[in-house]
Amino acid sequence: MTTKTITRGALTLIATTVAMPVFAQEQADVAIFEEITVLATKREQTLQEVPVAVSVVSADVMNDAQVLDIKDLQFLVPSLRVSQLQSSANATFLIRGFGNGANNAGVEPSVGVFVDGVYRSRSAASLADFPNLERIEVIKGPQSTLFGKNASAGVINVVTAKPDLDGYSGSASFTYGDYDQIVVKGDVSGPLSDTFAWSLSGSYNQRDGYFTNLETGTDFNELNRYGVRGQLLWAPSDTFEARFIADYDKIDENCCGVANLAVGVADFGIRVAGGDYLPEQPFSYNGLFNFDAVNEIENNGVSLQLDWDLSDAITLTSITAFRNLERFDNSDGDFTTAALLNETASNLTDTTLETFTQEFRLSGSTDRMDWLVGAFYFDEDVEQNSGVLFDSGARPYVDAMTKLAGVPSGAYTPQEAANPLVPSPVALLEGLIASTYQPGSLLPPLAPGVVDQFGPIIPGTSFATGQGTIETGLLDNQAISLFAQADFALTDRATVTLGINYTEDEKDVSVRTVNDNVFSYIDLVDDIGQPVIFATVLGQLLQAGQCPLGPTDPACVAQAAAAADIGKGTTCTTGAPGELCNPFLPLQQVQILPPFVNFPNAVENGNSKDDQTTWTARFAYDLTDRLNAYISAGTGFKATSWNLSRDSRPFAADIAALEGAGLGVPNLSPATRLAEPEDSTLYELGLKGAFDTWSFNLAIFDQEIENFQENVFQGTGFVLVNAGKQSTTGVEIDVLWALTENFDWYFAGTFLDPVYDDYQNAPGVGGPTDLSGTKVPGVSEFSANTWARWSFDLGSTMSGFVRAEYYYEDETQVISNVPANVASRKVSTVNASIGLRWENGFEAMLWGRNLTDDEYLQSAFPTTFQNLAEPFSYSGYPNQPRTWGITLRKYFD
């Protein structure tokens, strides 16, 4: 029985669950659960009473589990998955199988990240180490009614500790691990007066890489990051508080190691171009690249939060924030030692984001109602510069691959294809075009668009070093959300929650390119195929004496023209050679950087303006003092996302208008400029209970997103599209049990049935494909988190603990456009730690992560520039191998 059957057979509407409660030992003989405060509904509530599905991880748990950054949360939080790929700046968060937005600055994630109430619009801005964490809340399902900016799949809410008005406190820690990892963290907090307090925290995290570039000897997947965070707290009275925060962090690393998963026909061209790579050894953690990667990220910002109790029952909150993110990364995009792509711009991304946010909230309560109203304003400017340039190996690679593909197929033996003295189809075409501009040429002029822009093509100049494209994308985004929510106490045990949000989001976008890749401007159908076939057929007719009036014979001209119309779009093969086919049509496969239509323009205004009203409705009932039931329904929204890269293409409906306005370019093919807004809907039913020594949470949910935004890499570029509908039906259960005063056990299991209900034009390497009705890749049907912790005393001044955790995901295809037999993943990871604590605040801990050296892929993709002919090559990102370390920590009071 699938989870969809379970859910739909239970109830249409479903509610919420609260995962992973924390307990405390308050008496020697009784274990009770600690009351934890969360901000999941934008006001303080206990974890037990909050009417949303939220998992909470405290700072103590993260310290004991040696969670060094936000990516490791997936080992502690049910239904959360985090993947790192392409660069240090790209981390993708998924909750219950939903999430996106890491490879393009025009695409915001569906899982929103907030730090101390401030929205971080891109994942690169949320990867810092936070040494003074209080807790992290992972809120599941659409949260657009309260977190109005793009939270259609869920929210990760990071809460750091406030400065301490009561006295000085702090901590310092030092970690040494394998791969020569050194982590230093520290924080200090204390009062400046009775009403002023301050805090300062900092972190430094350095580690050698675990993935070696055998060509240069450099290690990839290193860590080299640091950050500092300062706070001021002013509390002049019991009714007013101001909190100012300033932070800065920097990452300068070599990331990320890419492994070959499957060798394709491109192996031949790589070898001809003098390159090499390590075939089909993804977990050797070695590769061959002709230059190393660069990943530089600077992230900084300031925020001011004001909380003012206007009366005993009404509080006003204001959060103002300015943030800046600068990102520069580049890597060897062909993942071989062949010089196909130039180090100047092989996989270049240079991005700047400047963000301003303002939130106002007014909250209050009466005898029977708690209420909240608010407004959120967002203003962001984005500039993304990117590009790809060819290098010295591109031309021999293209020559070899096109000869191997054949014009017609099979015309070249492998020996001829590898021989640089044998003319390639590219060379033949260059010569043909050049010959039409020589005096006395019998052929009509070919490729006029190319010649008009660049002049006659000189043989041997296509795919020359430095040719390529550089593009600049700009995005100006303003959004405003108005929201309200109220909890009505129908009885002492029954509560109804109603919430509503109105969001308006407007984006103005422009993309400009400079493209001197001459070869991609050639129209191989009308400008090449048609005149070549016409001339060939006319010449045969003349030779056969069938044109008594010579080359202008109307019958012969008509016959040749008809043959050209039929054959210009037909590929020649060994079974269909001759005049009724286009011998140069296969060269379309190497026109990988086609001409670009800059926008906005007379047809495309580069503007999107979306508005949506979302809502939440919940009913909660306390069955007993220890057992609660919930039923919930709600909707979410994420605004239009834009493709700010060279892969942006006009919609099919705009092609004719562009050409009519004189804006057409050769080889103008339709795709997308943007992805339409996401609309999500969640129904959830849940039951939770907390008892003296154990607690449990059970939730059944049905969640869907219409127009789910996907940014899919096809081997030569990303395509931004909407999946018509993606849904996930599932069951979540977690149990925490204090078996004894000293031994605790936790288990969380998630059962999912993720489906593309409607995805008819999904991007595929060989062209669009219909994925409707298929399982969503990268989302396991079953996953589990479990841990056990044993604490003990060693005398009157020393205590200790032993902690072990296990994380499991059953097998799933990694991504839709890489075959499952090439890239599937199954996770079975064990982490553990053992620590000692002294009464004077000193701690020592030995820890290990992935102790079983579990091997799995974080993601996979068709290898860049290696899908010119089948079979294709595929590459992927292997996970981190086993690591261990020792941490020493001292708390100061």
Residue 236 — left, alpha, or beta (φ > 0 → left; ψ -120 to 50 → alpha)? alpha
**Given this model, what pLDDT does residue 446 score?**
56
Report residue 312 as tokens.
């005993």
8-state DSSP, 524 = I
What pLDDT, in 10s, does the model give residues 682-731? 999 988 888 889 988 888 999 999 999 988 888 777 888 999 999 999 99
pLDDT band at 219 (very low <50, low <70, confident <90, very high): very high
**Given this model, what pLDDT does residue 77 score?**
83
**Given this model, what pLDDT does residue 576 score?**
57
Report residue 861 as tokens.
């993709």
8-state DSSP, 146 = T
Do 650 and 604 form a contact (C-beta atoms < 8 A)? yes
What pLDDT, in 10s, does the model give residues 268-295? 999 999 999 999 999 999 999 999 999 9
575 versus 846: the higher-pLDDT residue is: 846
Determine the Cα–Cα distance for residues 376 and 381; give it in Å rounded to an integer.
17
Residue at 806: amino acid letter: Y
**Given this model, what pLDDT does residue 39 score?**
60
Determine the Cα–Cα distance for residues 346 and 342; give it in Å rounded to an integer.
5
8-state DSSP, 775 = B
pLDDT band at 65 (very low <50, low <70, confident <90, very high): confident
What are the φ/ψ torsions at residue 428 (nearest 5 degrees)? -60, -40
What pLDDT, in 10s, does the model give residues 440-484? 444 555 555 555 555 567 778 899 999 999 999 999 999 999 999
Do 255 and 295 form a contact (C-beta atoms < 8 A)? yes
**Given this model, what pLDDT does residue 435 score?**
74
Residues in contact with 175: Cβ distance below 8 Å, sequence separation at least 6, in sequence order: 181, 182, 183, 184, 885, 886, 887, 888
Residues in contact with 605: Cβ distance below 8 Å, sequence separation at least 6, in sequence order: none
Determine the Cα–Cα distance for residues 888 and 351; give it in Å rounded to an integer.
38
For residue 17, pLDDT over 60 is answered with no
Name which of 881, 873, 822 is nearest 284 in CA terms. Answer: 881
Coil vs helix vs strand at 397: helix
605 by Cβ neighbours in 10 Å (0-12 / 13-18 / 19+) ranks as: exposed
Name which of 285, 292, 296, 398 is nearest 335 in CA terms. Answer: 292
534-544: average pLDDT: 89
| Residue 762 β-bridge partners | 769
Report residue 299 as tokens.
């992230």
For residue 30, pLDDT over 80 is answered with no
Report residue 836 as tokens.
């000692």
Q: Supply the DSSP string of 794-825, one letter for each residue.
A: -SSSEEEEEEEEEEEEEEEES-TTS-TTTSEE
Report residue 3 as tokens.
């989870």
What pLDDT, in 10s, does the model give residues 85-133? 778 777 788 888 888 766 788 888 888 889 999 998 887 777 667 678 8
pLDDT band at 801 (very low <50, low <70, confident <90, very high): very high
Residue with tokens 């308006």: 504
What are the φ/ψ torsions at residue 516 (nearest 5 degrees)? -110, 25
Q: How far is CA 588 from CA 270, 424, 571, 718, in A?
A: 19, 14, 11, 18
Residue with tokens 């340039």: 389
579 versus 490: the higher-pLDDT residue is: 490
Name which of 253, 211, 324 is nearest 69 in CA terms. Answer: 253
For residue 572, pLDDT over 90 is answered with no
202-209: average pLDDT: 95
**Given this model, what pLDDT does residue 306 score?**
97
Letter string b/e over residues 488-521, b meaning 16 or more CB atoms within 10 A of that residue's CB: eeeeeeebbbebbbbbebbbbbbbebebbbbbbb
For residue 22, pLDDT over 60 is answered with no
Determine the Cα–Cα distance for residues 66 and 175; give it in Å rounded to an integer.
10
What pLDDT, in 10s, does the model give residues 304-340? 999 999 998 999 999 999 999 999 999 998 999 999 9
- Mean pLDDT (the chain, rounded): 87
pTM for this prediction: 0.89
Do 3 and 751 form a contact (C-beta atoms < 8 A)? yes
Determine the Cα–Cα distance for residues 481 and 151; give it in Å rounded to an integer.
12
Residues in contact with 582: Cβ distance below 8 Å, sequence separation at least 6, in sequence order: 524, 525, 528, 529, 532, 533, 567, 568, 569, 570, 571, 572
375-398: average pLDDT: 94
Q: Supply the DSSP string of 852-879, one letter for each residue.
A: T----EEEEEEPTT--SSSSPPEEEEEP
Determine the Cα–Cα distance for residues 118 and 121; give it in Å rounded to an integer.
9
pLDDT band at 1 (very low <50, low <70, confident <90, very high): very low
